[in-house]
A and B are shown apart, each in its own frame.
Chain A
Amino acid sequence: MNVTFSEKSAWGSLAALALVAYWYFPKAFAVASSGDEPVKLIVISVICIVVLILIEVVYHVVIASTGRSSSDERDALFDLKASRNGGFVLGFGLFSLVGHIILSSIPEGMSQPGALSIAVWILLTITVSEIAKLGFQIYYYRVGS
């Protein structure tokens, strides 16, 4: 099969992260907007982290046992380029969030985003940037660089 261990790893991480994010963020935003049960947010966050780690470990054990797990200069280059692009997404997301917080404080009487909401938005930005990084990595493997 014409797929390296690193590309298989990127595909698996992308699928696992997207799946967990799809489950986590609607629940996290619901808890953050109600604002009365921060402990619930911690519980679902811990569950998601544990599930994500378990999926990643099992998947990587499986792909490592079914083929070569070496990596080379091409894997390193694609990882670096994808990380750079993911960094741009992270920066854009965080600056947008900061801009939103500042702008929403200008009109008198406008509701401010709560601390929990800001925390979930930051987590969403980090997750989207990681998904973008993995997507770019796969793009470089498939299309070339």
Chain B
Amino acid sequence: MVGTRVRNNIRALRFDHGEMTQQELADRVGVTRQTIAAIEKQKYSPSLEAAFKIAAVFGEPLDAVFSYEPASR
């Protein structure tokens, strides 16, 4: 699988926010449910705009939702 180095804890945040479904989050961010699923599985790195929107839905700063794992040398 081709993964991304952008890590996230969206699944945990959804659980902490009243067990929000992927579809509810997708509707609030303006993307498809499949895109939220792909982000959670780290198969897709969202655009900066979508990342800010996701963080805003949870009321968290961007770096509380997403982190970047540098390539190991």
What is the interface of chain A, defined by CB distance below 8 A to chain B? 2-4, 7, 68, 70-75, 143-145
Contact with A along B18-61 (1 / 0, CB 8 A): 00000000000011101101100111101100100000000000
User: Interface size for chain B: under 10, 10 to 19, 20 to 34, or 35 or more residues?
Assistant: 10 to 19
Counting CB contacts under 8 A, is B71 at the interface?
no
Identify whether the interface residues of A are mostly helix, strand, loop, or mixed: loop
Judged by a CB distance under 8 angstroms, whether B67 is at the interface is no
**B29 to nearest A CB, angstroms?**
9
* B2-A143 in contact (CB<8A): yes
**Shortest distance from the beta carbon of B19 to any chain A beta carbon, whole Å:** 19
CA distance A145 to B47 in the complex (A): 13
Q: Are A74 and B4 in contact (CB under 8 A)?
A: no
Please, which residue of chain B has its CB at the minimum distance from the CB of A6? B32
Using A3-B34, A144-B44 as known contacts, say yes or no to A73 and B1 having CB atoms under 8 A apart.
no
Closest to A7 in B: B34
Contacts of B1 in A (CB 8 A): 143-144
With beta carbons under 8 angstroms apart, the residue of B2, B32, B41 that contacts A72 is B32
Q: Are B38 and A72 in contact (CB under 8 A)?
A: no
**Contact (Cβ within 8 A) A144 B38:** yes
Chain B proximity of A72: nearest CB distance (Å): 4
